[in-house]
Amino acid sequence: MSQVFSFNGGNPHCVSAASLHAAAANLSSTDNWVALEDCRGKSSDLVVVHHEEEKYALNYYSRVSSGTNGYWFGLRAEGGRWKWIDGSDLTVSYWTPQPPPPATDGQCVMSVQNNKWISVGCTEKQRWICKMKALSVSTLQSDSE
């Protein structure tokens, strides 16, 4: 299943299990809530890591980040638990340091280089990565009939 990953405001990046195509990125920064609204305004969402493909894409884009500047993705603290923006609970994580910090409301998670996740305040200004399902040719043909 292919998906489209996009940096905030940048060109879409098609991702499949076999390949990843990167393009130029818009590296502006904003808080987590604005990033989420931006993604949803483009019929997408912040990345949720449930599959190896999503983990790979998040790690790929985060390789150019630093310890203090990373990329928002769809994980935040709600009611004392780490939750994905799709409503599911966190089951696998890549925290720096291990184990995950306490889930304090107002905390969101960013991905930084070396495949690590860091908990920071949701109001911090960071870049973000959106994800949307790619349409298949058969889907496009059946919709136009």
Q: Where are the domains of the chain?
A: 3-144
Class of the CATH-defined domain 3-144:
alpha beta
Q: What is the pLDDT of residue 104?
A: 94
pLDDT higher than 50, residue 10: no
93-117 tens-digit pLDDT: 777 777 888 999 999 999 887 768 8
Q: What is the pLDDT of residue 109?
A: 92
Question: Alpha-carbon distance 82 to 66, whole Å?
Answer: 23
| Residue pair 117/63 in contact by the 8 Å Cβ criterion | no
